[in-house]
Amino acid sequence: MNAPAELQVIKQHLIDPEICIRCNTCEATCPVGAITHDSRNYVVDAEKCNLCMACVPPCPTGSIDNWRAMPLIRAYSVDEQLTWDVLPAELPPEQLALASEGNATEAVATLAQSPVEPTSVGEAAFNANQYGATLPPWSAAHAYTNLYGPKAAQKTIEATVVGNVRVTAVGRDYDTHHIVLDFGSLPFPVLEGQSVGIIAPGLDAQGKPHHARQYSIASARNGERPGYNNISLTVKRVLEDHQGKPVRGVASNYLCDMQVGDKVQVIGPFGASFLMPNHPRSNIVMICTGTGSAPMRAMTEWRRRLRQSGKFEGGKLMLFFGARTQADLPYFGPLQSLPKDFIDINLAYSRETDQPKKYVQDLMRERAIDLAPLLADSNTYFYVCGLKAMEEGVVLALKDIAEQQGLNWDSLGASLKQTGRLHLETY
């Protein structure tokens, strides 16, 4: 005789707090709102999670891919998970057997092989993330990941600050810095589109070491300075959260205040899908806001170096870059020096004095006649990086452009995901 439903064994989805870099990818991806977080941990609500697996492929560290067989009545609560520093051990088999009167193995196997389909969000809702690819372009180079971190042989790698330059206008609170880190003789191979974790020194409000904060790499694969074992980051000093409440970002302020010669602890690299294509004549369309420009700078710089070498015939490069004002736009000066026949630059300002508000999706619609053939071209890859709020508007713009030009968005959108042509990295 089977046990009551509340004693049945479930396959509980958990996030490893030792590996998680708090990038928010899982929460942004979950279609049923089962993932939440506080200032310390990201956790999964067992009452909401339906094992759809949507959050697993985009996770850059693998921290999301953890499971525990648990009696339903003993499932770990959200409040419990928020206190964890490490994952709990598996329950002994005899406890599971008692919970389900011998049916534990069958229950867990059934759950593992037959995940429930995601709950419908209604016909009126538009889920932009469903079009985001979790596979890299077929021609992308092999990415090395998790070489340094909590579960690696070496927990961190020490880098030396060899450059720290402000890249937004002087006189504003929200300055953005271009920071160059050198790894000396220690290996740290990276590709454009990958990220690293920075560990700030000291303790948090609970008296525990700070968790790593994630930053996208802003330099090309052969170094910020070609031939050197270094990388660059684009870091904005955080003085308020996304709701406008005052907060001093631990890692961002730490990095922005660093001096040349200072040492910093790094983990990673992370990411194996937000990678650029390597095959000749491939086109790249980059859409970003603020420090979301970091991977776009990396891709642009690698293409620029290939062009200078004369060994690569690159396709079209388009950039749609948004900021509140020109003064808030990182790298404005260097952008102006790039050859017009190399990259097609479109800048959008949403708070510029005496100018109408414009967002990146507005500029995309203005360039619909140029974007439509790129959408239809299987050699074109789209990259979106910036605040989560931009994601829906950008993907809706692509959908509208496709449909206005007679393209079937249902099949095209599915193809963009399946072939690694549309990559979304928002936070």
Please identify every residue annotated as catalytic: 215-216, 385, 425, 427
Query: Contact, 232 vs 301, CB < 8 A?
Result: no
Which residues of 17-57 form beta strands (DSSP E)? 35-37, 42-44
DSSP assignments along 141-159, one per residue: PPPP--SBSTTSSBS-EEE
Q: Which amino acid would we find at residue 114?
A: S
Taking the C-alpha atoms of residue 86 and residue 183, their distance in angstroms, rounded to an integer, is: 29
Q: Which amino acid would we find at residue 218?
A: A
Positive or negative: CA dihedral 165, 25, 398, 360: negative
Q: Which amino acid would we find at residue 11?
A: K
Q: How far is CA 196 from CA 167, 186, 225, 232, in A?
A: 20, 15, 18, 10
Taking the C-alpha atoms of residue 112 and residue 118, their distance in angstroms, rounded to an integer, is: 15
Contacts of 82 (CB under 8 A, 6+ apart): 38, 40, 41, 43
Q: Tell me the chain's radius of gyration from C-alpha atoms.
A: 23
Q: Give the DSSP letter of residue 76.
A: P
Q: How far is CA 384 from CA 239, 288, 394, 398, 414, in A?
A: 24, 6, 8, 12, 17
Taking the C-alpha atoms of residue 31 and residue 130, their distance in angstroms, rounded to an integer, is: 9
Q: How far is CA 300 from CA 224, 225, 295, 304, 338, in A?
A: 12, 14, 9, 6, 10
State the Cα angle at 89 between 85 and 90, rounded to 5°: 145
Judged by DSSP in three states, 426 sits in strand
Taking the C-alpha atoms of residue 58 and residue 29, their distance in angstroms, rounded to an integer, is: 8
Query: Contact, 107 vs 8, CB < 8 A?
Result: yes
Per-residue burial over 84-117, b if 16 or more Cβ lie within 10 Å, else e, is beebeeebeeeebeebbeebbeebbeebeeeeee
Q: Give the DSSP letter of residue 2.
A: P
